[in-house]
Structure 1
């Protein structure tokens, strides 16, 4: 149908990530219509003389833009039904079903909508139950791990350019899931980002900002005692990065006037997009 050899398909899959959405247990590749459209664009671009590596980036970027335009917002009864399904799978410790539901929500509605309408309400409910009853930690942990896995499956941007965002936890902060959600949402917008992960010492954070020179630096904290350890004066003197904070740990704290405080994932993504 495409007029290219199977060996070319395998090469494009291995080198440029232009592979199928589905692989059978026996290792067979199953290309969906969206996969074929990306390959058609790859064929057209290479036929015009574009280098394969550049053509692959363009083909993926155009496909992501088309998908974003076609995604429907998630809300109302559809969101509540998705929550019920995810919570039911979580309480059964049905990890394969949670992974499948999370991946489908992200594909159909995008990271931001899935996060705000389903993942956060579901995880909050599970966390509240642990706090009230003193049991169910295993349910909360497996649900969080399933969401994390689905977020990390969102393809990262490969386009050249400045680092749009550097994401980091405050020193001794161990919760990384919200940062991964922001990173996945930025990947959908074809923006480059890096995450330093959990428990980043103040000196290490400063060193990373100096070396990577991100457009936006965002630091997450869920408790005030952890948030207070972030060295804002040193960070602002190191580079021209826009500094932002997120998480409940910053509530009520006085911060420099230049520090941004996005309250939602939507606001955090918008902050990065307006500057990078």
Structure 2
């Protein structure tokens, strides 16, 4: 797929004259031209220019940024975490729930940070955090109380996930994450982002209640490798403009969350069944 200079400038948020300057001064031009001599940029050209924009934004001089932008970014080596056994996971879950029921935020944060450091996001999310949040939700449903416990536990998990170091430096945007319109549950997306950070991938999260037009505009501008949308109810999932996205981007489209169960999806849209599957989907694409 190829793009005109004006289209590329719009994606990157720069002026078309800047593209022309970078071509003339630093050789960051398009790979092809039409028979009429018009410039056309391919995906690789856009990736180099995106790295150029990021480097300049970080304060690198344009000439140096042009040299670095041509270099393929090296992925940060993924840390190998110790596997979490069944007994260890059960013990960790009991400890986290006990701290939550006492509203002991400091202990929850300490436990979460240690678990993530020792075992990694995917293992801890699937073995401790998610089961704990489900149990707290069941308690609220049965007893009609305990909302404050769930909120503080969720806040502690969110903070621990956001403390996972993000990948830095120029590089391809591996994933753009977003909630369906009116969807307010963001914790699972934050877990995916933290897991991608552990793998050295760059990602962005648009957060809760993303309007359809805003999602389409962000995808067109950021050019991610993967777009993943979360929904916990079918009526919210059906508001996501999957068909329009499929016509406007070459990114791999994916959906996640219980809201997609039973929703008819275009053949090109993927639905990973777990956090680990979602991470694998993104890594396979990039």
Conservation of the 8 A alpha-carbon contact between 1:111 and 1:185: yes
The answer for the alignment partner of 1:152 in structure 2 is 162
1:106 corresponds to 2:116: yes
Where does the alignment leave 5 or more consecutive residues of structure 2 unmatched?
Answer: 1-67
The answer for the alignment partner of 1:4 in structure 2 is none
1:240 corresponds to 2:255: no
Conservation of the 8 A alpha-carbon contact between 1:159 and 1:190: no
The answer for the alignment partner of 2:240 in structure 1 is 230
Q: 2:151 aligns with which of 141, 156, 176?
A: 141
Q: Over aligned residue pairs, what C-alpha RMSD do you find?
A: 1.6
**Partners of 2:229 and 2:74 in 1: how far apart?**
33
**Partners of 2:92 and 2:169 in 1: how far apart?**
33
Conservation of the 8 A alpha-carbon contact between 1:112 and 1:266: yes
Where does the alignment leave 5 or more consecutive residues of structure 1 unmatched?
Answer: 1-53
1:205 corresponds to 2:205: no
**Partners of 1:59 and 1:233 in 2: how far apart?**
34
Deviation at 1:242, TM superposition (A): 0.3
Q: Flag as ranges the 4+ runs of structure 1 deviating above 6 A.
A: none
Deviations 1:117-146 (A, max 9, x none): 000000100001101111000000100000
The answer for the alignment partner of 1:37 in structure 2 is none
Q: 2:131 aligns with which of 88, 107, 121?
A: 121
TM-score by length of 1: 0.76
**Partners of 1:142 and 1:125 in 2: how far apart?**
14
TM-score by length of 2: 0.73
The answer for the alignment partner of 1:166 in structure 2 is 176
Conservation of the 8 A alpha-carbon contact between 1:166 and 1:195: yes
Conservation of the 8 A alpha-carbon contact between 2:182 and 2:236: yes
Q: How many residues are aligned here?
A: 215
**Partners of 2:105 and 2:83 in 1: how far apart?**
25
The answer for the alignment partner of 1:61 in structure 2 is 76
